[in-house]
Amino acid sequence: MGFVNTRLILKEVARKNIAVGAYNVYNLETAKSIIETCNTMGIPAIIQLSEGAIKYGGGETLAKLIINLAERTNVPISLHLDHGKSKDVVIQAIRWGFSSVMIDASSLPFEGNLKLTKEVVEICKPAGVTVEAELGKIGGTEENISVSKREAFLVDPEEAEIFVKETGIDFLAPAIGTSHGAFKFKGEATLAIDRLKEVKKRTNIPLVLHGASSLPEWLLREAKKSGIQIPGAKGLPYEELQKAVKNGINKVNTDTDIRIAFLTGMRNYLFGHPDIIDPRKAFLEGMLWISRIVKERNEKIYLLK
């Protein structure tokens, strides 16, 4: 199918009560590896660019690269703006050809979030661009957060219902207990599944899980061997992730797993081949490791095995 609107992908996975992987990329190698792996598996994918990636590689340059790669596939691939913070970056993303955008105004009070999100929807709708928003707080780590503080960060299902009706967004990222980065949990990893189910019931739109990298043991073990130092890193177990998908999540974001896999592959190659001065060889090894983690996540998320 090639390059498509994100709405088409989410409509299909929501119909099947499964989820699609949404993968953050930063350059040719990360994008190419993910897109080619998904195409080989016959599974759709959402490719994401954050504002940081846009600053690093150039929004228009990266968008053209990703769209070109997507147009050569036999599966649906879309391009999504991840955590856009302003109307200006959203407008730029539309001009660059993005399939969808996320306006992240979750740091604002509810009314401020609603107002900015509604304005973004009004900008995107005429262009046919799909809109994601966020409710609740998805932090950088769960460490040292008390139960009462954690509850304050979680999405309010009643607010979610009002928010969706008032803004007209296409999909929503509700905060249900995950966090970004490599240090998501201290102790047992748990998600607010009951709250997720209530949000799904009240909104009836595709839902998104941020901070969903799993950091499987084999990846952390190999990363440590390669010299990467992230002691105490803990991701979202596949069992919890699958539970979230079965209860309403349709888009699963992945960033940290991609970063660690790419760097592990490159470091292993470079340390094992000190005589090689061709960076492409290290990049290719990193791409193989990305392919490995994407294949595993697609099997756990999309196929729900």
Give the tens place of pLDDT for each residue, 194-242: 999 999 999 999 999 999 999 999 999 999 999 999 988 888 999 999 9
Give the count of beta carbons closer than 10 Å to the beta carbon of residue 302. 22
Q: Quick one: average pLDDT of 175-192?
A: 73
CA distances from 69 to 75, 100, 174 (A): 11, 17, 31
Intra-chain end-to-end CA distance of the chain, in Å = 25
Summarize pLDDT for 130-160 with one digit per residue, the tens: 999 999 866 554 333 333 445 558 999 999 9
- Is residue 39 within 8 A of residue 75, CB to CB? The reply is yes
Give pLDDT, residue 173. 97
Q: How far is CA 180 from the centre of its chain?
A: 10
**Helix axes of 256-272 and 28-41: crossing angle, nearest 10 degrees:** 110
> H/E element holding 295?
helix 279-301
Give pLDDT, residue 232. 84
Give pLDDT, residue 148. 41
Q: Shortest CA distance to 117 belongs to which of 171, 49, 195, 48? A: 171
Give pLDDT, residue 304. 72
pTM of the model: 0.93
Q: Shortest CA distance to 170 belongs to which of 205, 202, 135? A: 205
Q: How far is CA 69 from the centre of its chain?
A: 19
Is 82 marked active-site?
yes
Of 82, 104, 255, 257, the catalytic one is 82
pLDDT, averaged across the chain: 92
Summarize pLDDT for 233-268 with one digit per residue, the tens: 888 999 999 999 999 999 999 999 999 999 999 999
Give pLDDT, residue 145. 36
Q: Shortest CA distance to 220 belongs to which of 259, 253, 260, 254? A: 260
* Domains observed in the chain: 2-219+229-256 (3.20.20.70)
